[in-house]
Structure 1
Amino acid sequence: MKTVAGAVARRYEVMVQAAATLGLRQGEAFGLAVDFVWKPTLIKADIPTTHENGFHMLRHHFASVLLERGVSIKAVADFLGHADPGFTLRTYTHLMPSSEDRMRQVIEDVWATGQSALDVP
């Protein structure tokens, strides 16, 4: 099934590959994606090209969902093109409200099985 998100993601990947061919960094490819993919898509859908509808907000949402679902900071940083995973952590840590709950649940799940710390990889 085709989705808007899938179409945008495929178009973004094409932009990243084209940018790499031209010797551009992923962040520079992001700028091309905003100008040549995201904004024209908003205009075609008759959605105002405001900050609230910007690609940057979508990027924040994307990163926060990945982190919320347990994807590592390193993997998210690599995908977003951040050279320093610490930057990604500082930027998105406030978007991970359930981290303490997930931590507690992990410990509860392990203890519920009767495993010791030595049994856990």
Structure 2
Amino acid sequence: MEVKINREIRNYTESMFFGLSLRQFIFSVLAMGVAVLLYFLLKPYVGTETVSWMCILGAAPFAAMGFITYHGMTAEQFVWAWLRSELIEPRFLRSEPVNNIYYEAVKGVVESHEKEAYKAHVEND
């Protein structure tokens, strides 16, 4: 008798329904619900083939959320991280000098070196 063990123990998921984890099962049922809802909402307005494609396209994101992981994050964790980085937290980081005393002390030396380097460059050209 042989027992299968994942090489990486953190990747273990317990099968609950039909070989799916509880998370995968919930998102699969949600995807089916979205597909049925889209079918009944759009059937009076467009043809059967178009409705079937719209159902597939509408249900695909919900079905994918149950199975996709990115950098060890589930889809909802990834969406939350993306929202935080793009909308909630500021994008532009300002860099301000921390040691103003040191900056003021060496500012004259740096400027004189820059002037000398510029003069040397102009004389060589």
Q: TM-score, normalised by structure 2?
A: 0.30
Q: TM-score, normalised by structure 1?
A: 0.31
Structure having the higher Rg: 2
